[in-house]
Chains A and B, each alone.
Chain A
Amino acid sequence: QVQLVQSGAEVKKPGSSVKVSCKASGGTFSSYAISWVRQAPGQGLEWMGRIIPILGIANYAQKFQGRVTITADKSTSTAYMELSSLRSEDTAVYYCARQYGDPAPFDYWGQGTLVTVSS
C-alpha cells in the first residue's frame, strides 16, 4: 500500500522560503511521478509542478516558474517542494500526489501541509 507522508505545518514571513517534504512508502519510488498541488483557504486545487525521480526531471506550472523548485532524493524516497519569495497569497495547504504512469491521474495523496505566510 502506497503512503505519502508530508512534513508538518509551517509559519513563514513574507519574502522567505519554505521547503515541504513528502516521504513515500510502498511501491517503487523512482518509477512514478510526484506532483505538488496547493489549495488556498476555501479555494480549489492548483497544480504547481512535478518530478519523475528516476529521471530527475521537474516540470513547473508557468505561474510558479522561477519561484518553485521540486526535487527528489531516491535514497530516502522523499520528494521536496521549495517555494521562495513567499507572500500572503501563498497561504495554503500543499499536497503531494502520485502519478503511476504518464499520463496518469493522481491515485495517492499526502495528508497535506499547511503553510501560513504572515508578518
Chain B
Amino acid sequence: EIVLTQSPGTLSLSPGERATLSCRASQSVSSSYLAWYQQKPGQAPRLLIYGASSRATGIPDRFSGSGSGTDFTLTISRLEPEDFAVYYCQQYGSSPHVTFGQGTKVEIK
C-alpha cells in the first residue's frame, strides 16, 4: 500500500498570502495519478487537482499542482477567505486501491 504523508499538519496564513502544501509518497505514484481535494466543515470533499497538475472543472487558477514520482505540491497563489479548509492528497494509480494523506489544515492567521 502506498502511504502518503502530508506536511505541514497545519498552515497558518493570512488572506492574500501564498500557501504551499506538500504530499510525499512512500513509493512512486504511477503516471502521476495524484489528486488533491478540499474539504470544508460539514461538507464532502471537492476535487481540485487530478493527474498531479490538471485543475478539475470550475476550479480557480489560483490553485495549481505540481510534482511527480514521490513528491507532489499543491500551491494556492493568493489565499481567498473561502480557501481556508483542510486539503487531502490522494493517489489512485494503484487502482482499485486508493489511499489518502492525513490532511493539511489551512487556517487563518
Given known A33-B96, A47-B98, contact A105–B47 (CB-CB < 8 A): yes
CB-nearest residue of chain B relative to A59?
B96
Please tell me if B88 contacts chain A, counting CB pairs below 8 Å.
yes
Residue pair B99, A103 in contact (C-beta under 8 Å): no
Tell me whether chain A's interface is mostly helix, strand or loop, or mixed: strand
A45 in contact with B33 (CB, 8 Å): no
Cα A105 to Cα B53 in complex, Å, equals 13
Cα distance A50–B56 when bound, in Å? Answer: 22
Contact between A107 and B88, CB atoms less than 8 A apart: no
Task: Decide: A44 and B99 in contact? CB cutoff 8 A.
Answer: no
The verdict on A109 contacting chain B, using a C-beta distance below 8 Å, is yes
With the chains together, A55 CA to B17 CA distance in Å? 47
- Interface presence of B16 (CB below 8 A): no
A14 at the interface (CB under 8 A from B): no
Q: Which of B83-109 contact A (CB under 8 A)?
A: 88, 90, 92-93, 95-103
Give every chain A residue within 8 A of B47 (Cβ-Cβ): 105-107
Interface size band for A: 20 to 34
B81 is an interface residue with CB less than 8 A from chain A: no
Which 7 pairs between the two chains have the least Cβ-Cβ distance?
A: A103-B95, A109-B44, A105-B35, A59-B96, A105-B50, A45-B100, A103-B92
Q: Which residues of chain A have a CB within 8 Å of any CB of chain B? A: 33, 35, 37, 44-47, 49-50, 59, 61-62, 95, 97, 99, 102-107, 109-112
29 contacts between A and B (CB under 8 A): A33-B96, A44-B101, A45-B45, A45-B88, A46-B100, A47-B97, A47-B98, A47-B99, A47-B100, A49-B96, A95-B44, A95-B45, A97-B44, A99-B92, A103-B30, A103-B33, A103-B92, A104-B50, A105-B50, A105-B90, A106-B47, A107-B47, A107-B50, A109-B44, A109-B45, A109-B46, A110-B44, A111-B44, A112-B44
Residues in chain B within 8 A of chain A (CB atoms): 1, 30, 33, 35, 37, 44-47, 50, 56, 88, 90, 92-93, 95-103
